Amino acid sequence: MGVETGGGPSSELVSRIALTKMRILFVTIPGHGHFYPMVPLVRACSDLGHELKVASTASFAPTIEEAGFSAVTIGPDWHQSRPGEVIDDLPPTGSGRTQAVGRFFSSIAPRQGIPDLMDSFSSWRPDVVVLDPVDPTGLLAAMASDIPFATPMYHVPMDGIGGLHPSAEAETAAEARRVQVSNELREVAGIPPKAFPLNDEIATYLLFDMVPPSFAPLSSRLKWRTAHTMRPDMYPIGGEAPWDGNKERPRVLLTMGTVFHGAHDVLLETARGLTKGGWEVVATVPDGVELPVEIRAERWVALDAALDECDLLVTHGGWGSVMAAFHHGVPMLLLPQGADQPRQALRVRSVGAGLYILPGELSAESVFSAAQSILGDDLFRRNSERIKDEITVMPGPREVVSLLEKLGKEKRPIVGPPLEFTAPTGAR
Protein backbone atom coordinates (compact mmCIF):
# COMPACT_ATOMS: atom_id res chain seq x y z
CA MET A 1 0.00 0.00 0.00
CA GLY A 2 1.24 3.54 -0.77
CA VAL A 3 2.53 5.50 2.21
CA GLU A 4 2.84 9.28 2.06
CA THR A 5 5.68 11.17 3.73
CA GLY A 6 7.32 14.60 3.59
CA GLY A 7 6.44 18.21 3.06
CA GLY A 8 4.45 20.09 0.43
CA PRO A 9 4.73 22.34 -2.61
CA SER A 10 5.45 26.06 -2.72
CA SER A 11 3.15 28.44 -4.60
CA GLU A 12 3.12 31.73 -6.51
CA LEU A 13 1.15 33.41 -9.27
CA VAL A 14 -2.17 33.21 -7.42
CA SER A 15 -4.35 34.10 -10.40
CA ARG A 16 -2.77 31.33 -12.49
CA ILE A 17 -3.17 28.82 -9.67
CA ALA A 18 -6.88 29.52 -9.38
CA LEU A 19 -7.34 28.65 -13.05
CA THR A 20 -4.97 25.73 -13.60
CA LYS A 21 -4.00 24.07 -10.31
CA MET A 22 -3.64 20.32 -10.78
CA ARG A 23 -2.47 17.23 -8.97
CA ILE A 24 0.65 15.84 -10.65
CA LEU A 25 2.32 12.59 -9.67
CA PHE A 26 5.93 11.88 -10.70
CA VAL A 27 7.11 8.26 -10.65
CA THR A 28 10.81 7.36 -10.53
CA ILE A 29 13.09 4.38 -10.12
CA PRO A 30 14.95 4.77 -6.79
CA GLY A 31 18.14 6.15 -8.30
CA HIS A 32 19.71 9.59 -8.49
CA GLY A 33 20.31 9.24 -12.22
CA HIS A 34 16.57 8.81 -12.78
CA PHE A 35 15.20 11.31 -10.26
CA TYR A 36 17.62 14.22 -10.71
CA PRO A 37 16.81 14.79 -14.42
CA MET A 38 13.14 15.11 -13.35
CA VAL A 39 13.74 17.57 -10.53
CA PRO A 40 13.77 20.79 -12.61
CA LEU A 41 10.34 19.89 -14.03
CA VAL A 42 9.03 18.86 -10.60
CA ARG A 43 10.24 22.16 -9.18
CA ALA A 44 8.73 24.17 -12.04
CA CYS A 45 5.34 22.54 -11.44
CA SER A 46 5.60 23.25 -7.72
CA ASP A 47 6.63 26.87 -8.27
CA LEU A 48 3.61 27.39 -10.50
CA GLY A 49 1.29 26.25 -7.73
CA HIS A 50 0.47 22.67 -8.64
CA GLU A 51 0.01 20.03 -5.96
CA LEU A 52 2.47 17.23 -6.52
CA LYS A 53 3.97 14.05 -5.11
CA VAL A 54 6.83 11.78 -6.16
CA ALA A 55 6.41 8.00 -5.99
CA SER A 56 9.35 5.67 -5.43
CA THR A 57 10.60 3.17 -2.83
CA ALA A 58 10.91 3.70 0.92
CA SER A 59 14.71 3.78 0.72
CA PHE A 60 14.55 6.61 -1.81
CA ALA A 61 11.97 8.70 0.06
CA PRO A 62 14.65 10.66 2.00
CA THR A 63 16.22 11.81 -1.29
CA ILE A 64 12.83 13.01 -2.53
CA GLU A 65 12.15 14.84 0.72
CA GLU A 66 15.62 16.44 0.76
CA ALA A 67 14.76 17.91 -2.63
CA GLY A 68 11.67 19.48 -1.01
CA PHE A 69 8.90 17.20 -2.26
CA SER A 70 6.32 14.83 -0.77
CA ALA A 71 7.03 11.13 -1.27
CA VAL A 72 4.67 8.21 -1.85
CA THR A 73 6.35 4.86 -1.21
CA ILE A 74 5.52 1.95 -3.51
CA GLY A 75 6.85 -1.44 -4.50
CA PRO A 76 9.55 -3.61 -2.92
CA ASP A 77 12.11 -1.59 -1.00
CA TRP A 78 15.37 -1.17 -2.89
CA HIS A 79 17.86 1.48 -4.04
CA GLN A 80 19.61 1.52 -7.41
CA SER A 81 23.01 2.25 -5.88
CA ARG A 82 22.68 -0.84 -3.62
CA PRO A 83 21.00 -3.50 -5.81
CA GLY A 84 22.88 -6.32 -4.10
CA GLU A 85 20.52 -5.90 -1.15
CA VAL A 86 17.62 -7.35 -3.18
CA ILE A 87 19.30 -9.32 -6.01
CA ASP A 88 21.03 -12.55 -5.04
CA ASP A 89 24.47 -13.39 -6.50
CA LEU A 90 24.72 -10.04 -8.30
CA PRO A 91 27.94 -9.76 -10.35
CA PRO A 92 30.13 -6.82 -9.22
CA THR A 93 30.50 -5.40 -12.75
CA GLY A 94 29.83 -6.16 -16.40
CA SER A 95 26.85 -6.96 -18.57
CA GLY A 96 25.59 -9.62 -16.16
CA ARG A 97 25.14 -7.00 -13.46
CA THR A 98 23.45 -4.56 -15.85
CA GLN A 99 21.03 -7.22 -17.08
CA ALA A 100 20.17 -8.41 -13.55
CA VAL A 101 19.44 -4.88 -12.31
CA GLY A 102 17.48 -4.04 -15.45
CA ARG A 103 15.40 -7.20 -15.10
CA PHE A 104 14.63 -6.35 -11.48
CA PHE A 105 13.40 -2.79 -12.04
CA SER A 106 11.63 -3.43 -15.34
CA SER A 107 10.02 -6.80 -14.59
CA ILE A 108 10.12 -7.84 -10.92
CA ALA A 109 9.64 -4.62 -8.90
CA PRO A 110 6.64 -3.40 -10.97
CA ARG A 111 4.62 -6.49 -10.01
CA GLN A 112 4.26 -4.98 -6.54
CA GLY A 113 4.69 -1.33 -7.52
CA ILE A 114 1.76 -1.26 -9.97
CA PRO A 115 -0.95 -2.34 -7.47
CA ASP A 116 0.62 -0.16 -4.76
CA LEU A 117 0.45 2.89 -7.02
CA MET A 118 -3.10 2.14 -8.16
CA ASP A 119 -4.11 1.75 -4.52
CA SER A 120 -2.69 5.20 -3.73
CA PHE A 121 -5.00 6.73 -6.33
CA SER A 122 -7.99 5.98 -4.10
CA SER A 123 -6.87 8.64 -1.62
CA TRP A 124 -4.98 11.00 -3.94
CA ARG A 125 -5.87 10.74 -7.62
CA PRO A 126 -3.57 12.79 -9.88
CA ASP A 127 -4.73 14.67 -12.97
CA VAL A 128 -1.50 13.71 -14.75
CA VAL A 129 1.21 11.11 -14.11
CA VAL A 130 4.79 11.90 -15.19
CA LEU A 131 6.72 8.71 -15.90
CA ASP A 132 10.24 7.45 -15.55
CA PRO A 133 10.91 6.48 -19.21
CA VAL A 134 12.31 3.03 -18.33
CA ASP A 135 10.00 2.08 -15.45
CA PRO A 136 6.66 0.50 -16.47
CA THR A 137 5.11 1.02 -13.03
CA GLY A 138 3.74 4.52 -13.58
CA LEU A 139 2.79 3.81 -17.19
CA LEU A 140 0.64 0.79 -16.40
CA ALA A 141 -0.92 2.25 -13.27
CA ALA A 142 -1.92 5.36 -15.23
CA MET A 143 -3.25 3.37 -18.20
CA ALA A 144 -5.28 1.06 -15.97
CA SER A 145 -6.72 4.05 -14.08
CA ASP A 146 -7.48 6.12 -17.20
CA ILE A 147 -5.11 8.93 -16.18
CA PRO A 148 -3.18 10.76 -18.92
CA PHE A 149 0.59 10.60 -18.64
CA ALA A 150 3.70 12.41 -19.83
CA THR A 151 7.25 11.13 -20.26
CA PRO A 152 10.47 13.13 -19.95
CA MET A 153 12.91 11.36 -22.32
CA TYR A 154 16.29 11.78 -20.63
CA HIS A 155 18.41 9.26 -22.45
CA VAL A 156 19.41 8.59 -26.05
CA PRO A 157 16.75 6.25 -27.50
CA MET A 158 17.82 2.93 -28.94
CA ASP A 159 16.52 3.45 -32.47
CA GLY A 160 19.05 4.47 -35.06
CA ILE A 161 22.06 3.52 -32.94
CA GLY A 162 24.26 0.82 -34.38
CA GLY A 163 27.72 -0.53 -33.81
CA LEU A 164 27.43 -1.22 -30.09
CA HIS A 165 24.39 -3.51 -30.06
CA PRO A 166 23.72 -7.27 -30.43
CA SER A 167 23.15 -9.10 -33.67
CA ALA A 168 19.79 -8.95 -35.45
CA GLU A 169 18.97 -12.44 -34.17
CA ALA A 170 19.75 -11.49 -30.59
CA GLU A 171 17.74 -8.27 -30.86
CA THR A 172 14.76 -10.17 -32.31
CA ALA A 173 14.85 -12.57 -29.37
CA ALA A 174 15.16 -9.68 -26.94
CA GLU A 175 12.16 -7.94 -28.52
CA ALA A 176 10.08 -11.10 -28.14
CA ARG A 177 11.08 -11.25 -24.49
CA ARG A 178 10.13 -7.57 -24.02
CA VAL A 179 6.67 -8.26 -25.46
CA GLN A 180 6.25 -11.27 -23.15
CA VAL A 181 7.26 -9.32 -20.03
CA SER A 182 5.11 -6.37 -21.11
CA ASN A 183 2.06 -8.61 -21.35
CA GLU A 184 2.78 -10.19 -17.98
CA LEU A 185 2.82 -6.70 -16.45
CA ARG A 186 -0.27 -5.65 -18.40
CA GLU A 187 -2.03 -8.60 -16.76
CA VAL A 188 -0.95 -7.32 -13.33
CA ALA A 189 -2.61 -4.00 -14.18
CA GLY A 190 -5.71 -5.65 -15.66
CA ILE A 191 -4.90 -4.54 -19.23
CA PRO A 192 -5.38 -6.89 -22.22
CA PRO A 193 -2.22 -8.21 -23.96
CA LYS A 194 -0.80 -6.48 -27.03
CA ALA A 195 1.63 -7.44 -29.79
CA PHE A 196 4.20 -4.77 -28.93
CA PRO A 197 6.25 -3.83 -25.84
CA LEU A 198 5.35 -1.14 -23.35
CA ASN A 199 8.14 1.10 -24.67
CA ASP A 200 5.95 1.86 -27.67
CA GLU A 201 3.29 3.45 -25.44
CA ILE A 202 5.30 5.93 -23.36
CA ALA A 203 4.59 8.78 -25.82
CA THR A 204 0.84 8.15 -26.10
CA TYR A 205 -0.12 11.55 -24.66
CA LEU A 206 2.95 13.76 -24.25
CA LEU A 207 6.70 13.32 -24.43
CA PHE A 208 9.32 15.86 -23.35
CA ASP A 209 12.32 15.30 -25.60
CA MET A 210 15.32 16.34 -23.51
CA VAL A 211 17.95 15.17 -26.00
CA PRO A 212 19.77 18.11 -27.65
CA PRO A 213 18.74 18.19 -31.34
CA SER A 214 22.02 17.25 -33.03
CA PHE A 215 22.73 14.65 -30.31
CA ALA A 216 19.51 12.72 -31.02
CA PRO A 217 19.19 9.86 -33.54
CA LEU A 218 16.85 11.16 -36.24
CA SER A 219 14.92 7.90 -36.62
CA SER A 220 13.77 8.03 -32.99
CA ARG A 221 12.67 11.64 -33.16
CA LEU A 222 10.55 10.97 -36.23
CA LYS A 223 8.28 8.46 -34.48
CA TRP A 224 7.20 10.65 -31.55
CA ARG A 225 4.23 12.66 -32.75
CA THR A 226 3.64 13.97 -29.21
CA ALA A 227 7.27 15.10 -28.72
CA HIS A 228 7.98 18.60 -27.42
CA THR A 229 11.49 19.85 -26.70
CA MET A 230 12.52 20.51 -23.09
CA ARG A 231 15.94 21.68 -21.95
CA PRO A 232 17.84 19.07 -19.88
CA ASP A 233 18.46 21.34 -16.90
CA MET A 234 20.69 20.07 -14.13
CA TYR A 235 19.64 19.55 -10.52
CA PRO A 236 21.91 22.03 -8.70
CA ILE A 237 23.79 20.40 -5.84
CA GLY A 238 25.97 22.88 -3.99
CA GLY A 239 29.64 22.39 -3.30
CA GLU A 240 33.09 23.69 -4.06
CA ALA A 241 35.35 22.76 -6.95
CA PRO A 242 37.90 20.09 -5.97
CA TRP A 243 40.88 21.64 -7.75
CA ASP A 244 43.98 22.88 -5.92
CA GLY A 245 45.05 26.52 -6.26
CA ASN A 246 45.78 28.14 -9.61
CA LYS A 247 45.49 26.12 -12.77
CA GLU A 248 48.94 25.16 -14.05
CA ARG A 249 48.14 22.07 -16.17
CA PRO A 250 45.11 20.42 -17.79
CA ARG A 251 42.47 19.29 -15.32
CA VAL A 252 40.83 15.89 -15.65
CA LEU A 253 37.86 14.61 -13.62
CA LEU A 254 37.27 10.85 -13.34
CA THR A 255 33.91 9.62 -12.06
CA MET A 256 31.83 6.49 -12.60
CA GLY A 257 28.60 7.99 -11.19
CA THR A 258 26.33 6.74 -8.43
CA VAL A 259 25.58 3.26 -9.82
CA PHE A 260 28.72 2.04 -11.60
CA HIS A 261 31.20 3.31 -8.99
CA GLY A 262 31.64 -0.32 -7.98
CA ALA A 263 33.60 -1.06 -11.17
CA HIS A 264 36.86 -0.99 -9.20
CA ASP A 265 39.01 -2.60 -11.90
CA VAL A 266 37.84 0.01 -14.42
CA LEU A 267 38.63 2.83 -12.00
CA LEU A 268 42.09 1.51 -11.20
CA GLU A 269 43.13 0.83 -14.80
CA THR A 270 41.78 4.20 -15.92
CA ALA A 271 43.58 5.97 -13.08
CA ARG A 272 46.86 4.29 -14.05
CA GLY A 273 46.43 5.59 -17.58
CA LEU A 274 45.67 9.13 -16.45
CA THR A 275 48.84 9.31 -14.35
CA LYS A 276 50.91 9.06 -17.54
CA GLY A 277 49.95 12.50 -18.82
CA GLY A 278 51.16 14.74 -16.00
CA TRP A 279 47.66 16.22 -15.73
CA GLU A 280 45.90 17.35 -12.56
CA VAL A 281 43.46 14.51 -11.93
CA VAL A 282 40.63 14.29 -9.40
CA ALA A 283 38.66 11.05 -9.10
CA THR A 284 35.55 10.06 -7.15
CA VAL A 285 36.04 6.64 -5.57
CA PRO A 286 34.09 4.44 -3.17
CA ASP A 287 35.46 3.53 0.23
CA GLY A 288 38.24 0.95 0.17
CA VAL A 289 39.66 1.82 -3.27
CA GLU A 290 43.21 3.15 -3.35
CA LEU A 291 44.34 5.06 -6.44
CA PRO A 292 47.87 6.08 -7.47
CA VAL A 293 49.23 8.85 -5.24
CA GLU A 294 49.34 11.25 -8.20
CA ILE A 295 45.54 11.32 -8.24
CA ARG A 296 43.42 13.20 -5.71
CA ALA A 297 40.70 10.82 -4.52
CA GLU A 298 37.37 12.15 -3.27
CA ARG A 299 34.31 10.28 -2.04
CA TRP A 300 32.09 12.82 -3.81
CA VAL A 301 32.48 16.06 -5.76
CA ALA A 302 30.01 18.75 -6.81
CA LEU A 303 29.95 17.97 -10.53
CA ASP A 304 28.69 21.39 -11.58
CA ALA A 305 31.46 23.22 -9.71
CA ALA A 306 34.14 20.74 -10.80
CA LEU A 307 33.28 21.05 -14.50
CA ASP A 308 33.56 24.84 -14.38
CA GLU A 309 37.35 24.45 -14.35
CA CYS A 310 37.68 21.07 -16.06
CA ASP A 311 39.37 20.24 -19.38
CA LEU A 312 38.25 16.62 -19.71
CA LEU A 313 35.58 14.48 -18.07
CA VAL A 314 36.35 10.74 -17.95
CA THR A 315 33.17 8.87 -17.04
CA HIS A 316 30.93 5.87 -17.63
CA GLY A 317 28.60 7.87 -19.86
CA GLY A 318 25.40 8.07 -17.83
CA TRP A 319 22.87 10.68 -18.93
CA GLY A 320 23.51 13.05 -16.02
CA SER A 321 27.29 13.05 -16.48
CA VAL A 322 27.09 13.54 -20.26
CA MET A 323 24.58 16.39 -20.02
CA ALA A 324 26.60 18.05 -17.24
CA ALA A 325 29.66 18.00 -19.51
CA PHE A 326 27.64 19.51 -22.36
CA HIS A 327 26.26 22.22 -20.08
CA HIS A 328 29.86 23.29 -19.48
CA GLY A 329 31.19 22.61 -22.98
CA VAL A 330 33.64 20.00 -21.65
CA PRO A 331 34.86 17.15 -23.90
CA MET A 332 34.55 13.56 -22.69
CA LEU A 333 36.30 10.21 -22.64
CA LEU A 334 33.57 7.64 -22.02
CA LEU A 335 33.96 4.16 -20.55
CA PRO A 336 30.48 2.63 -21.10
CA GLN A 337 29.61 -0.24 -18.76
CA GLY A 338 26.00 -0.98 -19.72
CA ALA A 339 22.42 0.36 -19.72
CA ASP A 340 22.12 3.42 -22.00
CA GLN A 341 25.82 4.27 -21.78
CA PRO A 342 26.96 2.64 -25.07
CA ARG A 343 24.36 4.64 -26.99
CA GLN A 344 25.43 7.90 -25.40
CA ALA A 345 29.09 7.05 -25.96
CA LEU A 346 28.53 6.52 -29.66
CA ARG A 347 26.61 9.77 -29.98
CA VAL A 348 29.33 11.73 -28.14
CA ARG A 349 31.89 10.42 -30.58
CA SER A 350 29.55 11.01 -33.55
CA VAL A 351 29.20 14.72 -32.76
CA GLY A 352 32.95 15.03 -32.20
CA ALA A 353 32.71 15.90 -28.50
CA GLY A 354 34.79 13.00 -27.24
CA LEU A 355 35.92 9.39 -27.60
CA TYR A 356 34.97 6.11 -25.95
CA ILE A 357 36.73 2.91 -24.90
CA LEU A 358 34.74 -0.33 -24.72
CA PRO A 359 35.29 -2.69 -21.77
CA GLY A 360 37.29 -5.22 -23.78
CA GLU A 361 39.63 -2.51 -25.05
CA LEU A 362 40.31 -0.76 -21.74
CA SER A 363 43.93 -0.49 -20.65
CA ALA A 364 46.15 2.15 -19.09
CA GLU A 365 47.70 2.71 -22.52
CA SER A 366 44.35 3.12 -24.32
CA VAL A 367 43.16 5.56 -21.65
CA PHE A 368 46.32 7.65 -21.88
CA SER A 369 46.24 7.69 -25.68
CA ALA A 370 42.57 8.70 -25.88
CA ALA A 371 42.87 11.37 -23.18
CA GLN A 372 45.98 12.79 -24.83
CA SER A 373 44.17 12.95 -28.19
CA ILE A 374 41.21 14.84 -26.71
CA LEU A 375 43.30 17.29 -24.69
CA GLY A 376 45.58 17.87 -27.68
CA ASP A 377 42.82 18.82 -30.12
CA ASP A 378 40.61 21.82 -29.36
CA LEU A 379 37.98 20.57 -31.82
CA PHE A 380 36.60 18.23 -29.15
CA ARG A 381 35.93 21.14 -26.79
CA ARG A 382 34.48 23.30 -29.54
CA ASN A 383 32.05 20.53 -30.51
CA SER A 384 30.96 20.13 -26.90
CA GLU A 385 30.44 23.88 -26.75
CA ARG A 386 28.19 23.64 -29.84
CA ILE A 387 25.93 21.24 -27.95
CA LYS A 388 26.03 23.65 -25.00
CA ASP A 389 24.74 26.37 -27.31
CA GLU A 390 21.91 24.09 -28.49
CA ILE A 391 20.90 23.35 -24.91
CA THR A 392 20.84 27.03 -24.04
CA VAL A 393 18.07 27.84 -26.52
CA MET A 394 15.86 24.81 -25.73
CA PRO A 395 12.64 25.65 -23.83
CA GLY A 396 13.13 25.28 -20.09
CA PRO A 397 11.00 23.16 -17.74
CA ARG A 398 8.98 26.17 -16.59
CA GLU A 399 8.09 26.94 -20.19
CA VAL A 400 6.59 23.50 -20.83
CA VAL A 401 4.43 23.21 -17.71
CA SER A 402 1.58 24.66 -19.77
CA LEU A 403 1.63 21.45 -21.83
CA LEU A 404 1.06 19.39 -18.68
CA GLU A 405 -1.77 21.75 -17.76
CA LYS A 406 -3.31 21.29 -21.19
CA LEU A 407 -2.99 17.52 -20.90
CA GLY A 408 -4.62 17.50 -17.48
CA LYS A 409 -7.51 19.57 -18.76
CA GLU A 410 -8.11 17.99 -22.20
CA LYS A 411 -6.95 14.41 -21.46
CA ARG A 412 -5.94 13.75 -25.04
CA PRO A 413 -2.60 13.56 -26.91
CA ILE A 414 -0.73 16.86 -27.29
CA VAL A 415 0.75 16.71 -30.79
CA GLY A 416 4.18 18.32 -31.10
CA PRO A 417 5.48 20.77 -33.70
CA PRO A 418 6.92 19.49 -37.01
CA LEU A 419 10.44 18.11 -36.77
CA GLU A 420 13.17 20.59 -37.69
CA PHE A 421 16.11 18.98 -39.44
CA THR A 422 19.47 19.91 -37.96
CA ALA A 423 22.76 19.24 -39.73
CA PRO A 424 25.22 17.26 -37.60
CA THR A 425 28.01 19.30 -36.06
CA GLY A 426 31.66 18.41 -35.81
CA ALA A 427 31.47 14.79 -36.99
CA ARG A 428 34.98 13.39 -37.11
319-346 confidence digits (pLDDT tens): 999 999 999 999 999 999 877 788 899 9
Residue 2: strand, helix, or coil: coil
Q: To 10 degrees, the CA torsion angle through 369, 372, 377, 382? A: 100
CA 239 to chain centre: 21
State how far the alpha carbon of 375 is from the alpha carbons of 195, 314, 354, in Å. Answer: 49, 12, 10
> What's the whole-number average pLDDT of the chain?
86
Q: What is the reported pLDDT for 222?
A: 65
3-state secondary structure of 313: strand
Same fold, 3-232+394-410 and 251-390: yes
**221 close to 158: Cβ distance less than 8 angstroms:** no
CATH topology for 3-232+394-410? Rossmann fold (3.40.50)
Question: What is d(CA 187, CA 104) in angstroms, rounded to the nearest whole number?
Answer: 18
Query: Closest by alpha carbon to 25, among 154, 123, 171, 100?
Result: 123
What does each C-alpha distance from 252 to 247, 283, 368 come to in angstroms?
Answer: 12, 8, 12
* Dist CA 56 CA 54 (whole Å): 7
Domain map (residue ranges) of the chain: 3-232+394-410, 251-390
Please identify every stretch of the chain with a pLDDT value under 70, giving residue numbers as ranges. 1-20, 92-95, 157-171, 218-223, 238, 258-263, 419-428
Bridge-based pairing state of the strands 3-5 and 71-73 = antiparallel
**Span 288-317, pLDDT tens digits:** 778 888 889 888 888 888 999 999 999 999
Q: What is the DSSP string of 100-144?
A: HHHHIIIIITHHHHHHHHHHHTTTS--SEEE--TT-HHHHHHHHH
What Cα–Cα distance (Å) separates residue 368 from each residue in 269, 293, 392? Answer: 10, 17, 32
The pLDDT value recorded for residue 1 is 46
Nearest to 370 by CA among 380, 385, 360: 380
CATH architecture of residue range(s) 251-390: 3-Layer(aba) Sandwich (3.40)
Q: How far apart are CA 424 and CA 11, in angstroms?
A: 41
**Contact present, 284 and 301 (Cβ < 8 Å):** yes
C-alpha span between 112 and 265 (Å, rounded): 35
- pLDDT for the residue numbered 14: 43
Cα gap 280→251, rounded to integer Å: 5
Q: What is the pLDDT of residues 359-402, one digit of tens each?
A: 889 999 999 999 999 999 999 999 999 999 999 999 999 999 99
- Is 166 within 8 Å of 172 (Cβ atoms)? no
The pTM of this model reads 0.86
pLDDT of residue 83: 77
Do 123 and 142 contact (CB within 8 A), yes or no? no
CA distance 224 to 279: 44
Q: Which residues, other chains included, contact 376 with Cβ-Cβ below 8 Å and sequence gap of 6+?
A: none
Q: What is the pLDDT of residue 264?
A: 79
User: What span, in angstroms and rounded, lies between the C-alpha atoms of 132 and 196?
Assistant: 19
What ranges in 205-251 are assigned the alpha helix state H?
A: 218-222
Residue 204 is predicted with a pLDDT of 95
